[in-house]
Amino acid sequence: MRRNELFTAGRLRLIAAAVVVVNGFFPAVWILLTSVKPELELVRKPITYLPHEFTLDNYVQVFRQQPLGLYLANSVIVASASTVVTLLVSACAAYAIARLRLRHRDLILSAIIASSTFPLVTLLVPIFQTMRAVGLLNTYPALILPYVVLSLPVCTLVLVSFFQSIPRDLENAAMIDGATRFGAMWRIVVPLAAPGVFTAGILAFVNSWDEFLLALSLNSAARMRTLPVGIALYQGEFTFPWHIIAAALVVAIVPIAVLIALFQERVVGGLTTGGMKG
């Protein structure tokens, strides 16, 4: 009886939810707490959990003494540009695969997906060489171009399944009414596939926002660093300015956290389409 009172179904559910939530949020919450503690409180023992003294100095410092604003701008430019290009390229490919008379349809889709299994690191060396040869090191295109390929497979997959879900009759009706195939595609299919395009866009954006290896290798000049590279290189040779790193991390995580919080269901849908079919 007592056992039953303590562990009612509702309470067990609450505990289960707490486990998942703590596991997912704890690192982000901890870094948030770290970021509002003064530098001296971070090097005191025993460590404090909630800040004894609340401060926003670290945030001021991170923008004044470190070029965090610049890294933020670089990340936004690279991630946005690569997302737009990825969407254009993958929407075209997905439309052809999902809709048009095409020989070896499955083979083409498989080839695009297979390219995502090639390790990026192995492509790093020749991409670095090529970018150096054509003078693109430490420029935005150096990252934008490879990032398109990074997200092309998953975006194509998501868009193929969205295009396939739009009834063909709508398009045929438009073409009977005199629209060209292009017209039917842009006026009927693309608007109807907007949710899919949006989902694919979020996935592409997150991929680019998070990428580290290429950004570190191709754009390491201080003025061209993206957020992950810029923040990771804050570490001095022997000292880790944790108060600065924590504030910078919060600034860098917030945009992506807001994005996925607003569009949770779309993101989950997109990820599982990509996962289930791949």
Contacts to other proteins from residues 23-82, by CB under 8 A: 23-25, 27-28, 30-31, 34, 42-47
Amino acid at 241: P
* Residues 73 and 259: beta-carbon distance below 8 Å: no
- Please, what is the minimum distance in Å from the beta carbon of residue 120 to other proteins? 6
Stretch that binds other proteins, among 15-23, 51-59, 162-170, 191-199 (CB under 8 A): 15-23
- Please, what is the minimum distance in Å from the beta carbon of residue 84 to other proteins? 13
Stretch that binds other proteins, among 62-70, 101-109, 157-165, 186-194 (CB under 8 A): 101-109
- Please, what is the minimum distance in Å from the beta carbon of residue 167 to other proteins? 18
The stretches of the chain forming alpha helices (DSSP H) are 2-6, 9-35, 39-42, 57-64, 68-99, 105-114, 120-133, 140-164, 168-176, 181-184, 190-192, 194-210, 213-218, 227-232, 242-262, 264-277
Q: Count CB neighbours of 215 within 10 A.
A: 26
Residue 245 sits in the site that holds other proteins (CB under 8 A)? yes
Q: Count CB neighbours of 251 within 10 A.
A: 19
Contacts of 174 (CB under 8 A, 6+ apart): 183, 184, 187, 188
70, 77, 190, 267: which one binds other proteins (CB under 8 A): 267
User: Cα(132)–Cα(179) distance, rounded to whole angstroms?
Assistant: 46
User: Cα(143)–Cα(136) distance, rounded to whole angstroms?
Assistant: 9
Residue 186 sits in the site that holds other proteins (CB under 8 A)? no
68, 78, 152, 197: which one binds other proteins (CB under 8 A): 152
- Please, what is the minimum distance in Å from the beta carbon of residue 5 to other proteins? 20
Residue 238 sits in the site that holds other proteins (CB under 8 A)? no
7, 8, 11, 21: which one binds other proteins (CB under 8 A): 21
Stretch that binds other proteins, among 58-66, 92-100, 162-170, 192-200 (CB under 8 A): 92-100
* Residues 62 and 56: beta-carbon distance below 8 Å: no
DSSP state of 115: G
In the bound state with other proteins, the residue whose beta carbon lies nearer, of 52 and 181, is 181
Q: Count CB neighbours of 14 within 10 A.
A: 11
In the bound state with other proteins, the residue whose beta carbon lies nearer, of 14 and 60, is 14
How big is the CA angle at 76 (ends 259 and 131), to the nearest 5 degrees?
A: 130
How big is the CA angle at 259 (ends 211 and 66), to the nearest 5 degrees?
A: 55
In the bound state with other proteins, the residue whose beta carbon lies nearer, of 1 and 40, is 40
Residue 127 sits in the site that holds other proteins (CB under 8 A)? yes
Residue 271 sits in the site that holds other proteins (CB under 8 A)? yes
In the bound state with other proteins, the residue whose beta carbon lies nearer, of 120 and 192, is 120
Looking at residues 155 to 184 of the shown chain, list those that interact with other proteins (rule: CB under 8 A).
156, 180-182
Residue 278 sits in the site that holds other proteins (CB under 8 A)? yes
Residue 2 sits in the site that holds other proteins (CB under 8 A)? no
Looking at residues 104 to 123 of the shown chain, list those that interact with other proteins (rule: CB under 8 A).
108, 111-112, 115, 117-123
